[in-house]
Structure 1
């Protein structure tokens, strides 16, 4: 192969390579990919934001004239913290968990009015607004006793408010609630006072029961004494004699079991008993 022909061949190959490179770059610039759970809004330099959105997959655009903006349309969690006052002027720290996502059908409007960082612009402000409005309707202690009702009111109001900005809320819940140091001390003192009051009630009730038991016991003893007195009066000296005989019988039984020397008076006679240990004396 002659030198001129070789030079022409190399020139053609270079031109083909350049053409392929330019064509590949142009094709690559004309494509964009939308991942799963995302949607794209297309901005055209002549027509502005297009009303149509692009779903998952690879799509074409006009290089230089058009540019895609990708939105995550999946539900995402967000925490909103607020310090607000109650109806009785107590300060409360609240943390709200919100599961939100943009309305997929309204992405062009969201992009034109709020931009890509729509959630940063909207959710903290409307979350604080709703929390302050709802909490101001309740006293501090009601936030604890009626927490499900308060949470439901916050959820309803926030969902309604978010629709004005084309945002969808899947769930709204109060995850943290705490009071200021002064109110916490007041609650603690109130609980201590209630416990002391309950203890005082118990002491009073116990004393009342003991008083009633003493009265019943005294009434029983009085009734027993009365019955004995009536029985004694009715039986005359016979009952006393019977008690004396029973006592003598018990004494005799006790002395008969004793191992020491004992004696029992019987008229003018003396009855002696000897301990076996003195038998040889």
Structure 2
């Protein structure tokens, strides 16, 4: 009887410890706890940390409320029927106060049931509104429309869209060649325009220079007077006299007879 009493006491202590431990639920940081009572979802949501629950009756399902990332790639047709493959990165989070509703209506596989289909549908819907070229030139506008549509879709399932980043638009090889040819043509046209402008400027400079030279020549002609010509002749004669050594030529040609001036 003595040992039986000890055994019973030990069992009671162990049972008490088990019940005590089963009365507490630990919710990790960045999570919320969905309370299930015999399988049914309760309105109560446990915050992170230690929470009290009914042992063996209630269980807790942790659900992450931190920002989560989903990367996806979708192929769709643009407005001009070009095949476009869009790579996108989506950041989203669960609404902390509604994780019980999300668990009840969707379950833990909300990523495959809600997030991925919503991204695919939003990308295809917005891509079809733009031509392939507009998807490139109006990328910020496209990104905003995708974000707005995806926000609406996720909010129906108690999720919040944090951000979206369109990483790449990939087109067919034929379209890429067409874009490259168009860019080359535009560059050649721009170069031809610049060359034409350069030629016009150079021609204008030549006209201006010729006009200036003609004007200068005109002014010089206006400055030439009979007095100036006579003065120049006197200056030439003076220089000739200054250079003469006082000797006359001793030989003359033609029919003039030889004269020796020294005699």
Distance 1:221-1:102 versus aligned 2 partners, 3 A rule:
closer
Alpha-carbon contact 1:41-1:54 (below 8 Å) kept = yes
- Residues 163-206 of structure 1, C-alpha deviations (whole Å, 9 max, x = no match): 2222222x222241233244333333333322222221222222
CA distance in 2, matches of 1:189, 1:98: 34
Choose the corresponding residue for 1:31, options 21, 24, 27: 24
Mark the runs of 5 or more structure 1 residues left unpaired by the alignment. Answer: 1-7, 254-262, 271-281
TM score, norm. by length of structure 1: 0.71
| Mapped pair 1:268 → 2:244 | no
Matched residue SS, 1:141? helix
- Residues 10-53 of structure 1, C-alpha deviations (whole Å, 9 max, x = no match): 443233223322333344334322233322223333x7322333
TM score, norm. by length of structure 2: 0.75
| Mapped pair 1:179 → 2:170 | yes
CA distance in 2, matches of 1:13, 1:248: 154
After superposing the two structures, state which structure 1 stretch, 195-204 or 95-104, moved more.
95-104
Alpha-carbon contact 1:38-1:74 (below 8 Å) kept = yes
* Alignment root-mean-square deviation, CA: 3.3
CA distance in 1, matches of 2:241, 2:139: 83
CA distance in 1, matches of 2:209, 2:58: 103
The one of the two structures with greater contact order (alpha-carbon pairs below 8 A, sep at least 6) is 2
Distance 1:13-1:265 versus aligned 2 partners, 3 A rule:
same
- Residues 212-270 of structure 1, C-alpha deviations (whole Å, 9 max, x = no match): 333334444445555556666x62xx6555445556778999xxxxxxxxx85878358
Alpha-carbon contact 1:96-1:172 (below 8 Å) kept = no
Number of equivalenced pairs? 248
Could you say which residue in structure 1 is the equivalent of 2:109? Answer: 117
Could you say which residue in structure 2 is the equivalent of 1:126? Answer: 118
Distance 1:166-1:244 versus aligned 2 partners, 3 A rule:
same
